[in-house]
Amino acid sequence: MTKPALSKAVPLGPIVSSAHLAAGAMPSLSELEFGLILLGHAFNRWMVRCAAAAGVPDLSALDVLVLHTVNHRGRAKRLADICLVLNVEDTHLVTYAVRKLEALKLVASGRSGKEKAIAITASGQQACRRYREIREALLVRPVKGAGVDERRLSEIAATMRALSGDYDQAARSAASL
């Protein structure tokens, strides 16, 4: 019996999810987008599972983000501010998350002048502390151990925040077509 001929090595181009998009003028942007897809799903999965390990099961990724945003700096937040910080356009999604967190007694809402303000509760603070402990042990320690350069990580984060503005502007332009 003869062995099948080995195929010649195919040069790998950029690793993307949509070759037809990478065929344009900036394939590296398609590489970034594929990385964001993978990282985004992994990050969402992580947040949900870390929150469950911290004693708060059945939260969505957005619920976890809202919880941490409300806990940030220990000050009550307006709904509009939470949406702005998280870059969530659909206010009703954050409203639903706040209601869910209120039902779990992790946040409480009240009035600040004419506006609704959402504040962290003692239970919410405890959940965030436990989340942080688990994050340090299961995520931070291995990432640091892998020798990830913290300055480079900060540069990547700054680039991602800047690109978010480009994507937002492109979305506005596309909506006007």
How do residues 18-27 score in pLDDT, each as one tens digit? 889 998 999 9
For the chain, give the mean pLDDT.
94
Q: What percent of the chain has pLDDT over 90?
A: 84
pLDDT at 14: 82
Complete DSSP assignment for the chain? -PPPPPPPPPPP----S-HHHHTSS-HHHHHHHHHHHHHHHHHHHHHHHHHHHTT--S--HHHHHHHHHHHGGG--EEHHHHHHHHT---HHHHHHHHHHHHHTTSEEEEEETTEEEEEE-HHHHHHHHHHHHHHIIIIIHHHHHTT--HHHHHHHHHHHHHHHHHHHHHHHHHHT-
pLDDT at 11: 66
Domains of the chain: 47-137 (1.10.10.10)
More confident of the two residues 13 and 97: 97
How do residues 130-167 score in pLDDT, each as one tens digit? 999 999 999 999 999 999 999 999 999 999 999 999 99
Whether the pLDDT of residue 93 is over 70: the answer is yes
How do residues 56-87 score in pLDDT, each as one tens digit? 999 999 999 999 999 999 999 999 999 999 99
**pTM given for the model:** 0.90
